Amino acid sequence: MIACVGAGQWGRNVIRNFYDLGVLSYVCDPESQARARITAYPSGVSVTESLEEILRDPQVQGVAIASPASTHGSIVRSALIEAWNEGRRRLAGVYDEAFAGTTSSRRERCQDQNTFTIFT
């Protein structure tokens, strides 16, 4: 499953796309107003302000970063460290464009149980 970090203007688009693929499990944003906008999604999508919470969940196989660009470095670093510490040692890749390719290839990238993926 995929977690999206950032639920602002661009994050809402990323969230919608991963939700439509059926692979969205978490949305993380420190802003309460941004989190409140996401509650419209049905159950099955958890909303949190804690990056650590999503990174420690073994069901999360990837993180889509849709936060301000200045935060990407620290989020990627945290995601890589936590994935390694949790035993998910195969990094599938860091993708600049999460939605490139066909729908089936995107879904496969998001559902591989043995890897950890970062989308920026």
Pair 7, 15: CB distance under 8 Å: yes
Instruction: Give the model's pLDDT for residue 93.
Output: 54
Which helix (H) or strand (E) is 107 found in, with range?
helix 103-111
Segment 58-63 shows an average pLDDT of 84
* Global pTM value: 0.73
Segment 45-51 shows an average pLDDT of 90
Distance CA(78)–CA(55), nearest Å, equals 8
Q: Which residue has the higher pLDDT, 29 or 77?
A: 29
Residue 114: pLDDT over 70: no
Centre a 10 Å sphere on the Cβ of residue 3 and count the other Cβ atoms it contains: 27
User: Rounded to whole angstroms, what are the CA distances from 112 to 2, 20, 47?
Assistant: 11, 17, 23
Domain harbouring 54, CATH code: 3.40.50.720
Q: What is the tally of structural domains in the chain?
A: 1
User: What is the domain range of residue 68?
Assistant: 2-119
